[in-house]
Amino acid sequence: MIMSLSVFSGLIWLALVLTIATPVLLLALLVKDFISNQVW
């Protein structure tokens, strides 16, 4: 019972981290492309 609860909690944390990190990573890639395009 406690084990499944901790696994469930871990999945929730993982989902939160992915939800927050994915747009941030995409934004970072876009900014990097924009900067490299500006340089050239």
Looking at residue 34, its pLDDT comes to 92
End-to-end CA distance of the chain: 58
> Per residue of the chain (40 residues), what is the pLDDT tens digit?
567 889 999 999 999 999 999 999 999 999 999 999 887 6
Looking at residue 1, its pLDDT comes to 58
- Residue 13 CA to residue 28 CA, distance in Å, equals 22
Output the CA–CA distances (angstroms, integers) from residue 40 to 33, 35, 36, 37, in the order listed.
11, 9, 7, 5
Q: How many domains does the chain have?
A: 1
Vertex 15: Cα angle to 34 and 5 (nearest 5)? 165
Q: Which domain holds residue 36?
A: 12-40
Residue 4 lies in a domain: no
pTM of the prediction?
0.55
Residue 3 lies in a domain: no
Residue 19 lies in a domain: yes
Looking at residue 38, its pLDDT comes to 85
Residue 2 lies in a domain: no
Residue 20 lies in a domain: yes
